[in-house]
Structure 1
Amino acid sequence: MRKAFLAMVLAASSAVEGQSADLGKVSANTPVDWTGPFVGSHFAYASGHSNFSLVGPGMPPSSGAIDLTNPIDAFKGTGSYALGLGGGYNYMLPSRMVVGLEADISFPNTVSGIATTTGVQGSQTLTQTVLTSGTLRARVGYAPGSWLFYATGGLAWSYDEAQLGPVDAPEDTTKTTRLGTVWGVGAELALSNNWSARFEYLSTNFGGKEIGFGGTAQRLSSDLAVQTARLGVNYRFGKEGQRGLQDGLTPFETDRFALHGQTTYLQQYAAPFRSPYIGTNSLIPNQTRQTWDVTLYAGFRPWSGGEVWINPEIDQGFGLSSTVGVAGFPSGEAYKVGAAVPYARIPRAFFRQTFDLGGETKKIDADINQFAGSQTSDRLILTLGKFAVTDVFDTNKYAHDPRKDFMNWSVVDTGTFDYAADAWGFTYGAAVEWYKGDWTFRGGIFDLSRVPNSTELDPSFSQFQWVGEIEHRHEIWGKKGKVAVTAFLSRGRMGRLDEAVTLARATGMPADVALVRRYQSRAGIGVNLEQEITADLGVFARAGLADGSKEAYEFSDIDSTFAAGLSLTGSSWNRPNDTFGLAGVVNGISSARQAYLDAGGLGILVGDGRLPNAGLEKIIETYYSLPIWSWRATLNYQLVTNPAYNRDRGPASIFGIRMRTQF
């Protein structure tokens, strides 16, 4: 823990010194007024420990200790790290003493541990997990120049989960809230008039807590102590607090460092529809679900053309029916893994190098995961690390970002593009882009999941995917457009659908493609078009085909697709910042996939238990987006005919609302 804290302190010190020097507004000797409200975010690494005792009828008392510290696993994305949000108020005295009050909340990834104990029926496992934690603290410090050194202390709380049960058996689960104390020390450095960086050490201690397990009548008494090293950033509103709330936060940008952020809330409702039967992967009528996320985009430019970006993120919520029921799923903000309690992830951590090769020099504005600067029309770009395949391939100006434009999976991406990804849509890999005149040639190799559609990427990289793309940019009557052809080839352990059906008929069981998996290939190809019609109107289209004899590996159960739509800004009705979008998509499956689903098989997103009357899945989506202060609100409607290719169910009307802001 001490080594981790020291590493974070050294990294923070190096970063903030470089930022201050580049910014030129705040130096180490510049006096800073710390008075005023602030909000912030932090990344933390935690080390936890719990002593417990367990008693119950008919069993001897048992006791022990649980270590809640977990190393970071890059391929599972797990570890004892957390992301958090906070805010407070500081007041600086004439002597440059600073007093303040702040509150924060942290969302861990995996602060959890397991112990084996003896129960009535033999060995059993006890698992303790910190789901959420927070503090309410005072701080007192001294502010020489642009630094603030402080001590802090106050109240702490945590929301925990305990699970108990026989080994490899369903567990009895209970949740509880703990109260305790926290103390720590830290340092904060002003980077600009608004932004500051901080690092701190916190020690939280909770007294004993007794809880009961209803299923086993056992009672657990345990304490909890957590040591945390934090690296964070704060945005100080100062005297412009009200303006900051209306206009949003100003991003932090220098020649070498950048910090952006966003948060998106999306709520969808599936209205009642005809549903004579329901299977495991069916869309459920008359239900509502929501998702929420917060993302920070931290960038470092080590040299000309080089960029390092990391995107820590907080995720929460579920897609409709836990993200199943429609092959063209209605929310691109819904992952295949949902959670009621927010949790931390690091979806992107990558390096990008741009080599200028000549031609016209163009200015590049700063944006999310992009530094301001310039680049030549002819260039070579190398991207290496963890990111989404669709960050580079199958992009479209009018339909590609479910946080900004359309929401449906098969509208924002080509439905047949079964791109390599974990259950959140990200993977490790490398991509090369060569821009030459009006042409761009792209190629990449990416890691597949260890098991199709799973949360863990293959650590051996023995299951992988090749992706290639050719793009041509053009002008028609002075209006810009492009056409791109994208192809993929996946190599991994996957099953043939007809073999799964044959086995099901022999055993009398529902078809299960997992039983016939072996190392083989699946390929697909797609075409992506975008075309500007006027300054306010653009159109797009996508079409694709994929191998329908095998299971879809990562994305969705779509073997053929065609989508088209338009995007229109509101200048003609005196609302130039508004956007209206309209799109339609038709998704299809092969006869082999139809037979598999009719035999009770389950796909990634679809599977009603049977499919006697199959048909094309047809979707119409429309949205209207408008600004509200620093936020952007979007109203969305989707009509899904034959959801999951089933003519016996639907049509389903899905209503959505999205709120988003970014800086």
Structure 2
Amino acid sequence: MSHFFGLSFVRVAGRGMKRICKIGGGIGVALATYSCAIAADLPANPPVKAPVPYLALYDWNGWYAGVHVGAIRGLSNWSAIPPGAGAPGLSGSFDLPFNFDFIGGTGNYVAGLQGGYNHVFPSRAMLGFESDISFPNSDVQVPFSVRGSQTVSSPLTGQVTYGEAVIHYGSARARAGYAFDHFLLYGTGGLAWSYDQVTRTQVDGVSVGGAATPGTVDTRLLWRLGWAAGAGIEIPLAANWTAKAEYLATGFGHKGMRFTGASEAFNSDLTMQSIRLGLNYRIGDASHIPDFLTKGPSALETDRFALHAQATYVSQYAPPFRAPYSGRNSLDPNTGRETFDTTLYAGVRLWDGAEAWVNPEVDQGFGLSASVGAAGFPSGEAYKVGASYPYTRLHRAFLRQTIDLGGEIQKVDAGLNQFSGSQTSDRLVLTVGKFSVGDIFDTNKYAHDPRSDFMNWAIIDTGTFDYAADAWAYTVGAAAEWYQGPWTFRGGLFDLSIAPNATHLDPQFGQFQWVGEIERRYAIWDQPGKIAISGFLTRGRMGGFQDAIQLAALNGGPADITAVRRYQSRGGISMNLEQQLIPNVGFFARAGIADGNKEPYEFTDVDRTVAAGLSISGKQWGRDNDTVGIAGAVNGITNVHQAFLNAGGLGILVGDGMLSRPGNEKIVETYYSFPVLAAKVTLDYQLIVNPAYNRDRGPVSVLGFRVHSQY
């Protein structure tokens, strides 16, 4: 017997494995016990209470759209017939088991979208329909976390591993239920589909005919069609918002294919079960759809819960430019790439001053040249890893505790990862969990958010601030902020990647980083501003450039920083200035320096940097929601860092194979942002001179287009 989210499943032996769900009995016993306990505690003549105020019945009628998150597991039964073998051949089954790794960010969890229509009859019976699509988690390097496999051995095949992974799936279902006074109970059923990857890996031996040798991997992508059935409960939260919990089972019959590498026929089925939590926004009848599309949904915030969301699309194109030679980390001319992401910001108040937030995000796409080619990379929306398929990541999951210490009471507006309310000017803020170091350190209101202002890495962050992060720019750690009058003192301890520029964080926390920051707020001629000094100290296994150069001279190959890594420290310090010049016009500046004798660990290949720019609101010319920005940055590296790249070394983002004519990397970026319906559209232009510090390549123009919406 196996267990899945409190449900018990019994496996019945036989060629076709079945699962029987036992749920009713346990719930019935629990409810009966609970009812008896309450009855035993009630007095014979309970006191009469004042009547409960009448609450109007919730209106479930009309169109709705929403989001969901959940966990999933599955089972696949398979059979294979090697060439020359008759039926039945080989057969077996494997689970797609549930797992979750908080630090690694991987597991059998999903996020997705749904939409549908409800009609409630006068009898309170409800009929409707719903369609949904779900995107499972992936770490990209080993894609598709909802997966399973089985390894078998046979004289005809040798040792072989068969596996299946779910890329994305969805359903179109009818819903029928009953609308009680303050909740909706429903059953659901209909059609389901799944897009999967099926693989055959030759582990050892040779298949019949010698077609598949050890290491041969056969991959097939296939669509499956099947059924879906389940049940759920939905409750109103506020205004047009409802929350639901749902169990959904899906089944897909046997489907055949052929692995060409081994000339082998393969057949398999798939069943899955999922538990999902969702939020729906009731649009109403068809007349309200135009308003929903142009204005978006109203934000959700109650005394206890809050929900916000964002979606961003970025497209960039680099026209042809001078490139006499290229290396593994070079920026390619005449290329274009796109990225898309949508994020859910769900929060709950726990106790006085405490908030917990989770941010599942669906990502898809690539940066230019797979996010390499310039130390000041042109898109902060492009991660260091990309995928052609949409996938879910849990980027943030943290607890924040605010302790008021006195002083002026300040109003706090609702926002992303922020409840509305109030706080005192003097306070202590503690944050622990998974989040980005940049959420707390090196912030700047004019240049820090690639979804709404500048996009270049060396402008939205200090280029030398080599903050701890996985390949998606998030880490696990803790931070403290002490606000006292015009001063703020910040400090934090964070987990590093398992190796420099690696995808995953160190699960043992053996490599880590200290970050500290001092901020001073002030006003000049009644114009507010602030200046912050930040520092970091990284402790981990990293290489020195001179060691890599000397080793390359001995073995005759290109400089390899991975061969000379040892446990040591690397530090840096930076300055961040934010100043309002006049109302609606802001100036910012950043500068930083870091240890240029050792490789940067996480962010980008910059040893010294300076950046500055202006942000101007459209209120200056009568367009209140427009913004124009212009900024520039100059990045540099040390002489030994240049020599390392000239010896064929590769950095995090740079490495053209040689660097015979080095120079500072110079960047200019300008953008114009304006509203269109419920979104903000941005036109962006960047000029990168000496990309990757190489005077032989470029200059590079980057044309950008961005659409962003949030509520």
> What is the aligned partner in structure 2 of residue 126 from structure 1?
162
Candidates 56, 70, 73, aligned match of 2:82: 56
Count matched residues: 645
Distance 1:653 1:527 in 2: 28
Candidates 98, 115, 133, aligned match of 2:126: 98
Cα offset for 1:433?
Answer: 0.6
User: Does the C-alpha gap of structure 1 residues 114 and 591 become closer, same or farther in structure 2, counting only changes over 3 Å?
Assistant: farther
The answer on whether the counterparts of 1:52 and 1:223 sit within 8 Å (CA) in structure 2 is yes
Higher gyration radius (CA): 2
Distance 1:176 1:580 in 2: 47
Distance 1:186 1:142 in 2: 11
User: Does the C-alpha gap of structure 1 residues 581 and 126 become closer, same or farther in structure 2, counting only changes over 3 Å?
Assistant: same
What stretches of structure 1 of length at least 5 have no aligned partner?
A: 8-25
The one-letter code sitting in structure 2 at the alignment partner of 1:85 is L
Q: Are positions 1:68 and 2:96 aligned together?
A: yes
> What is the aligned partner in structure 1 of residue 115 from structure 2?
87
Q: Are positions 1:220 and 2:266 aligned together?
A: yes
Cα offset for 1:248?
Answer: 1.0
The one-letter code sitting in structure 2 at the alignment partner of 1:82 is V
Instruction: Please say which of residues 221-230 and 240-249 is displaced more in the overlay.
Output: 240-249
Distance 2:580 2:179 in 1: 54
Cα offset for 1:75?
Answer: 1.8
TM-score of the pair, normalised by structure 2: 0.88
Q: Deviations over 1:209-238 (max 9, x none)?
A: 112233332232111000111111100111
**Secondary structure of 1:211 counterpart:** strand
The answer on whether the counterparts of 2:82 and 2:157 sit within 8 Å (CA) in structure 1 is no
**Secondary structure of 2:122 counterpart:** coil
The answer on whether the counterparts of 1:88 and 1:103 sit within 8 Å (CA) in structure 2 is yes
The answer on whether the counterparts of 1:105 and 1:133 sit within 8 Å (CA) in structure 2 is yes
Distance 1:33 1:255 in 2: 22
Distance 2:326 2:54 in 1: 65
Candidates 136, 140, 156, aligned match of 2:192: 156
> What is the aligned partner in structure 1 of residue 246 from structure 2?
200
User: Does the C-alpha gap of structure 1 residues 95 and 290 become closer, same or farther in structure 2, counting only changes over 3 Å?
Assistant: same
Candidates 140, 147, 170, aligned match of 2:176: 140
Q: Are positions 1:117 and 2:152 aligned together?
A: yes
Cα offset for 1:55?
Answer: 2.7
Cα offset for 1:2?
Answer: 5.3
Distance 1:131 1:461 in 2: 31
What stretches of structure 2 of length at least 5 have no aligned partner?
A: 9-51, 138-144, 204-213
Candidates 214, 221, 233, aligned match of 2:279: 233
> What is the aligned partner in structure 1 of residue 661 from structure 2?
613
Q: Percent identity?
A: 57
> What is the aligned partner in structure 1 of residue 207 from structure 2?
none
Distance 1:93 1:478 in 2: 62
> What is the aligned partner in structure 2 of residue 20 from structure 1?
none
Q: Are positions 1:391 and 2:439 aligned together?
A: yes
> What is the aligned partner in structure 2 of residue 77 from structure 1?
105
Cα offset for 1:90?
Answer: 1.0
Alignment of 1:226-375 (within 5 A): 226-239=272-285, 240-375=288-423
Candidates 24, 29, 47, aligned match of 2:73: 47
Q: Deviations over 1:525-578 (max 9, x none)?
A: 100001001111100000011111111111001111110000001123221210
Distance 1:464 1:296 in 2: 28
Q: CA RMSD in A?
A: 1.7
> What is the aligned partner in structure 1 of residue 553 from structure 2?
505
Cα offset for 1:351?
Answer: 0.6
> What is the aligned partner in structure 1 of residue 604 from structure 2?
556
TM-score of the pair, normalised by structure 1: 0.95
> What is the aligned partner in structure 2 of residue 33 from structure 1?
59
Q: Deviations over 1:467-523 (max 9, x none)?
A: 000111110100000110000000011111111121122112222111111110010
Distance 2:459 2:317 in 1: 19
User: Does the C-alpha gap of structure 1 residues 163 and 30 become closer, same or farther in structure 2, counting only changes over 3 Å?
Assistant: same
> What is the aligned partner in structure 2 of residue 176 from structure 1?
222
**Secondary structure of 2:107 counterpart:** coil
> What is the aligned partner in structure 2 of residue 591 from structure 1?
639
Distance 2:163 2:567 in 1: 36
Q: Deviations over 1:428-468 (max 9, x none)?
A: 11111111111111110000011111221111111100000
The answer on whether the counterparts of 2:238 and 2:302 sit within 8 Å (CA) in structure 1 is no
The one-letter code sitting in structure 2 at the alignment partner of 1:510 is P
The one-letter code sitting in structure 1 at the alignment partner of 2:130 is E
The one-letter code sitting in structure 1 at the alignment partner of 2:76 is S
The one-letter code sitting in structure 2 at the alignment partner of 1:44 is G
Distance 1:452 1:176 in 2: 36
User: Does the C-alpha gap of structure 1 residues 201 and 406 become closer, same or farther in structure 2, counting only changes over 3 Å?
Assistant: same
